[in-house]
Amino acid sequence: MGAQEIADRRVRFPGALGDVTGARLATEAYLRDLARVLPPAAPDRRDDILLVITELVANTLEYAPGPFELRLSRTFDGVHVVLRDTSPELPAPRRYDPGREGRGIGWYLVQTLSHQVGVITHERGKDIHVFLPW
């Protein structure tokens, strides 16, 4: 089985605090399957993708309460992540506040670690598209 044959993953979550862990576990399983047929180009790619997933889901739980969906798929040179949530509000960088333990750096991390980030709003919320190197 080639890398292009790795099945896309789609996981739905209710929007509970434990969903950060659930999304990480689903992503780890997908990346483990992908690595069996196509190892990452650099050792830190897996960790970067997991960090982006963690930040996206944590932001979703805070700013777009309710159910959300995570989709993972293989692209030519990486992984395409789509996070669909219930809020039509566009993500925005927050001012960093050292007194709030790292608050305000999540969206910056997502944009820094990704090849490309895009947001599409629709009547039920938005889709955040993130293209990450693998």
Domains of the chain: 3-133 (3.30.565.10)
Whose structure tokens read 């970067």? 48
Predicted local confidence at residue 2, as pLDDT: 56
Predicted local confidence at residue 4, as pLDDT: 56
Predicted local confidence at residue 93, as pLDDT: 79
Write the CA distances from 16 to 62, 96, 101, 131, 133, integer angstroms.
10, 25, 21, 25, 29
Provide the β-strand partners of residue 11: 70
Whose structure tokens read 């483990």? 32
Average pLDDT per block of 10 residues along the chain, 134 residues long: 76 97 98 96 97 96 94 96 97 72 79 97 97 98
Predicted local confidence at residue 96, as pLDDT: 64
Predicted local confidence at residue 98, as pLDDT: 66
Beta strand residue intervals within the chain, DSSP E = 9-13, 68-74, 78-85, 116-122, 125-133
